[in-house]
Amino acid sequence: MASSDGHGEVQLDPRIDLFAGSVAGVAALTVGFPFDTVKVRLQNPVIASRYSSVWHAFSTIVKEERVRGLYRGILSPLFTVAPLNGVVFASYRFLLKIQLDHADVKPSLSQVTLAGIGCGVLASVVTSPTELIKIQQQSVIVPASRHAPTVKEVALDIYRRQGLRGIFRGLGPTALRETGFGAYFGVYEGTLMLLQARHRGEARADKHSSEAVVSKQRHSYPALLLAGGLAGLASWLVTFPFDVIKTRVQSTLSTAPDNPYRNMLSTIVNSYRQEGLGVFFHGLKPTLIRAVPVNMVTFATFETVAHALSS
């Protein structure tokens, strides 16, 4: 997050961002990955019919593939959590600072949102190939007694079949989904601002203003947890249909004309024709369930580590 010296100046230290973001990313990934596996299974049109609900998916995966089935594919995002979180937090702070006229100007919520959108689009360059490999692994139903494809095996198979272009399959819908970082950071900062104003008794009821100034004082853990949970919910609600589209595109590698999921446009058209508008919200329930604890952990961990290293 953008930190300050107490006078509103946004400080820029990529080293702290990278380390704190990496620690936060590992913690959040460990907490939320089983929900991500369930979400992907529910979104994949080839295997979604195996599961009647979120909890049925959980129990079926554990029964057939044991607990490790819920964590299949975690190594791909785990390997990239450092560069990904480094890109997100460092680029967010950089994009925030270049919008300010002077170093001592406090950023507004609209500036925070724009910086979040920008860092999300940049992060998609890392996110897209990472999630392509992860989804390919998560979509394979492997009994506990059999060998599951590794990250290396999946990546090499994709590269051999389609080259570098195949590695970045699904980049378009991934970038659109990651614009949700605008809502992510906007809601996070806005919530902290409102909590701080209420705590100080300085809140002013101006519902029409979107330019409220973000204060960057040290916040309590309850405030960080609440803001993080709300930020996670907001970011997914804004862009979730693109996540469904991305999963469907990345769950199949074929670009043949007869593949309804060969690209983003064909996926949108065919999914709507076959399953209606509701298809774009498949897997929303486990995603929202995951969003609260994952983003509580993400922001609380990041703020704690960053503050400790900045002291």
pLDDT for 223-276, tens place per residue?
A: 888 998 999 999 999 999 999 999 999 999 988 999 999 999 999 999 999 999
Query: Domain 14-196+223-302 belongs to what topology?
Result: Mitochondrial carrier fold (1.50.40)
- Sorting pLDDT into bands at 50, 70 and 90, what band is 164? very high
- How large is the average pLDDT for residues 80-98? 82
Q: Are 92 and 84 in contact (CB under 8 A)?
A: no
Cβ within 8 Å of residue 296, ≥6 positions away: 224, 225, 228, 229, 232
Of 89 and 247, more confident: 247
Q: State the pTM of this model.
A: 0.79
3-class state of residue 4 by DSSP? strand
Mean pLDDT over each residue of the chain, to the nearest integer: 85
Which range among 87-91, 153-157, 181-185, 279-283 shows the weakest confidence by mean pLDDT?
87-91
- How far apart CA 225 and CA 294 sit, in angstroms, is 10
- How far apart CA 1 and CA 20 sit, in angstroms, is 10
- Sorting pLDDT into bands at 50, 70 and 90, what band is 12? low
Q: Where are the domains of the chain?
A: 14-196+223-302
pLDDT digits (tens, 9 = 90+) for 26-69: 888 888 999 999 999 999 988 989 999 999 999 999 999 999 89
The torsion angles phi and psi of 258, rounded to 5 degrees, stand at -85, 0
